[in-house]
Structure 1
Amino acid sequence: MRPAIRAARSDDQAELVALDELCFGPAAWSTGAWADEFDRLSEDRVVLVADEGALVGYVVLLLPQVALDVVEVLRIAVTPAERRTGIGGQLLTAALARCAGRTVLLEVAASNESAIGLYRGFGFEEISRRSGYYGGGEDAVIMRWRETV
């Protein structure tokens, strides 16, 4: 059964915090950071979740500001048990559907080959690197997606 992809609701916040901790460990966003994301929903944030009765993934988008046409994927995660089942692709498909006519940027750890492969499969291309961006000196790969007609 494929999970339902839907907009996050305020009652998802605690589950999102736990999911983020599971997926990112020490690099997880704090409860306060998630509260800030929820405070900004529909203003300049979109949070989509993959729901199978429990949340198994999410994606956070930063929407374009005035006069800019760029969306940023701030965070995307799928529980370790559900990785490589297509949920990340479902989340990315739903996110990109909201980005018609816009450029989408994201950054990913250079060592995260599975994520880079997923993004390339969706047409993202590497445009830059941030040397030593992540803890431990790991590079961030900056990727861009542009809708093709």
Structure 2
Amino acid sequence: MAAFERRRTDRAEMTLRTACDSDVDVLLSLQREAFGEDPHCLTREGFEAFLIGGRTDVIAAERGGVVVGYAVLNNRPFRPWTALDYIAVKTSLRGGGIGEALLAEAMTLARRRTVRLFVRPTNRAAIRFYKRHGFDRSGIRANNYADGEDAVIMTRRRP
């Protein structure tokens, strides 16, 4: 993964950068806040492997020197798409442009033309968010989640 840092000046006033080992605790905390105890979530070891693995980009959004969100892009070599595995934003800061900035950066860093993600059909806010940003519903993955809920598959092609 190529390291990057970009200053963004918008209503969220943040820095987007490559996540590093020292971010793992806050990434885990943000993940629990966003996704609860979903067994699909990353463990400490999973985050650490992603940070050194080379095929995964972990983007951290910092505001006031504190990580307040992240996105994970996974470039599996046998897949024709880049998987947007996670976007998480601190609950109290949602709606302030952080998720949009993370998604825009993820789309810039995606190594393939198609970006694909899974979202729970009950997460209507996330579905609306992704639709607003050019993602289309492309299918359903039955029983994707541990509780038996399906996943809505959404994709977007980059120009």
User: What is the TM-score when the length of structure 1 is the normalising length?
Assistant: 0.88
Counterpart of 1:62? 74
From 44, 52, 59, give the equivalent of 1:48.
59
User: Matches of 2:114 and 2:157 in 1, distance apart?
Assistant: 5
The answer for unaligned runs of 5 or more in structure 2 is 1-11
User: Matches of 1:71 and 1:82 in 2, distance apart?
Assistant: 27
Are 2:69 and 2:89, in contact at CA under 8 Å, matched by a contact in 1? yes
User: Matches of 1:128 and 1:69 in 2, distance apart?
Assistant: 16
Displaced runs of 4 or more, over 4 A = none
Counterpart of 1:145? 156
Counterpart of 2:33? 22
Q: By how many angstroms is 1:101 displaced?
A: 5.8
Is the alpha carbon distance of 1:138 and 1:20 closer, same or farther for their aligned partners in structure 2, counting shifts above 3 Å?
A: same
% of aligned pairs identical? 32
- 2:29 aligned with 1:37, yes or no? no
Secondary structure at 1:60 match in 2? strand
Q: Per residue, is there more helix in 1 or in 2?
A: 1
User: Matches of 2:136 and 2:116 in 1, distance apart?
Assistant: 10
Aligned residue type for 1:63: N
Secondary structure at 2:101 match in 1? helix
Aligned residue type for 1:34: F
Secondary structure at 1:141 match in 2? strand
Are 2:34 and 2:90, in contact at CA under 8 Å, matched by a contact in 1? yes
Counterpart of 1:128? 139
Counterpart of 2:4? none
The number of equivalent residue pairs is 145
Is the alpha carbon distance of 1:101 and 1:72 closer, same or farther for their aligned partners in structure 2, counting shifts above 3 Å?
A: closer
Aligned residue type for 1:71: T
| 1:99-120 CA-partner distances (Å, limit 9, x unpaired) | 3761111000111111111111
Q: CA RMSD in A?
A: 1.7
Secondary structure at 2:68 match in 1? strand
User: Matches of 1:50 and 1:103 in 2, distance apart?
Assistant: 23
